[in-house]
Amino acid sequence: MKILFLDQSGKPGGAELCLLDIAKTYQNNCLVALFSDGEFKQILQDSNVPVQIIPSQLIKISKKSNLFQGINSFTQIIPLITRIIPIARKYDLIYANTQKALVVGGIVSLCTHIPLVYHLHDILSYTHFSQTNIRLAVTLANHFSSLVIANSQASKNAFITSGGNTNLVKVVYNGFNPQKYQIGQSIAQKTRQELEVTNKFVVGHFSRIAPWKGQHILISALAKCPAQITAIIVGDALFGEREYFQQLHQQVAELGLEHRVKFLGFRHNIPQLMTACNLITHTSTSPEPFGRVIVEAMLCGKPVIAAKAGGAMELVKHGKTGFLVTPENTEELAQIITDCYHNPKNMIAIANQARTTASQNFHLNQINQQISQLLCQLKLGNHES
């Protein structure tokens, strides 16, 4: 089966990393077409996955765009579609990995009669999307896609609640290679030395800097924790959220936490940094579609405190493989961080169970096999029809 993957972004976000793992299994029979250049192109090339940047003007539509903005952006998409159609005719399947890719892929599928798969990496709610965008995504998926792959039950439920066809959607979680997260203690100790936190209890936060990711919540909770507890915040403001980034620095200064909070920016060595932590927190203020950071922390053998909403509730069993806290409740978060600090034996037991569970439920080979079976069934169904 020859697959044309479509993705709007040149930046390696969670959806792109998931696409990378899927595309690797089809690297001899696929092409990843990106609508913009960036670091993700190089990552694909380094993994020997064929990639091509499809030249186009900037598509000025966002998750919050209204109907007028959506119509206006459609004229920008037409040249992109005309470039992709002749490329698509060489493939058996179009695989749209993002919402803008769904718009383009849906029209290309209509013009070429090539089956379309939509990988849904979002919870379609008004928290992140305009009513226009939700209707557009659901309508396109219902009419043009032969299969919708949702990255969690939470994403599937939101899709169906928004009018999505129940018969189209299947849940397949993101996959991970457990070996990537097996970091030796000597490396962890070296990392702690480099960060100058050797004798500290380190709480890690890993995500892009954005208000809904809730870095401010961890900082507020930290102020209520024992002084021996420090935090590292890994990630950068990617989408014009520098003002929030500055607010975080101001918050740290106002709370007198300058020596207890380290902003590390964007980093590639996430497993090494996670292994250097004692605890990982996930503090999103609205439901997370999946939560890659949660599974990565579990695979690193670290206890996780996650916001009790969305996909996170499918990944963590409270008190067994991690902890779930009420979103935005700094008192509750501070209490669990403090409890973990005072009960290291319990933390170790929970972390070990989390690693075992994550290795069993989210192993990349198992996940890719599930996707391969779905795509083969789709191809077989199309041949029979």
pLDDT band at 326 (very low <50, low <70, confident <90, very high): very high
Beta bridge pairs of residue 265: 234
Strand order in the sheet with 323-325: 261-265, 229-234, 201-206, 279-282, 304-307, 323-325
Residue 382 above 80 pLDDT? no
Q: Distance between CA atoms of 83 and 99, rounded to whole angstroms? A: 19
Least confident of 129-143, 273-287, 353-367: 129-143
Record the pTM. Answer: 0.90
Average pLDDT for 290-299: 97
Question: Is residue 182 within 8 Å of residue 292, measured between CB atoms?
Answer: no
Residue 289 above 60 pLDDT? yes
Residue 170 above 90 pLDDT? yes
More reliable by pLDDT, 109 or 383: 109
Residue 14 above 70 pLDDT? yes
The chain-wide mean pLDDT, for the chain, equals: 92
Residue 313 above 70 pLDDT? yes
Residue 384 above 70 pLDDT? no
Average pLDDT for 145-172: 97
Q: What is the pLDDT of residues 242-256, one digit of tens each?
A: 899 999 999 999 999
Residue 162 above 80 pLDDT? yes
Residue 143 DSSP code: H
Please name the residue that has the structure tokens 């206006």: 72
Which residues of 275-341 form beta strands (DSSP E)?
279-282, 304-307, 323-325
pLDDT at 73: 58
pLDDT at 55: 77
pLDDT band at 105 (very low <50, low <70, confident <90, very high): very high
Furthest-apart CA pair in the chain: how many Å?
67
Please name the residue that has the structure tokens 């299994």: 25
Average pLDDT for 26-40: 94
Please name the residue that has the structure tokens 């961080």: 337
Residue 58 above 80 pLDDT? no
Q: What is the pLDDT of residues 15-26, one digit of tens each?
A: 999 999 999 999
Average pLDDT for 233-237: 93
Q: What is the pLDDT of residues 214-230, one digit of tens each?
A: 999 999 999 999 999 99
More reliable by pLDDT, 212 or 239: 212
Question: Is residue 36 within 8 Å of residue 120, measured between CB atoms?
Answer: no
More reliable by pLDDT, 353 or 75: 353
Least confident of 65-69, 227-231, 236-240: 65-69
Residue 98 above 70 pLDDT? yes
Residue 156 CA: distances (Å) to CA of 17, 152, 280: 20, 6, 27
All structural domains of the chain, each given as residue ranges with its CATH number in brackets, are: 3-175+364-384 (3.40.50.2000), 178-361 (3.40.50.2000)
pLDDT at 330: 98
Question: Is residue 16 within 8 Å of residue 49, measured between CB atoms?
Answer: no
Backbone angles phi, psi at 140, to 5 degrees: -65, -45
More reliable by pLDDT, 57 or 89: 89
| CA 326 centroid distance within chain | 21
Backbone angles phi, psi at 315, to 5 degrees: -95, -30
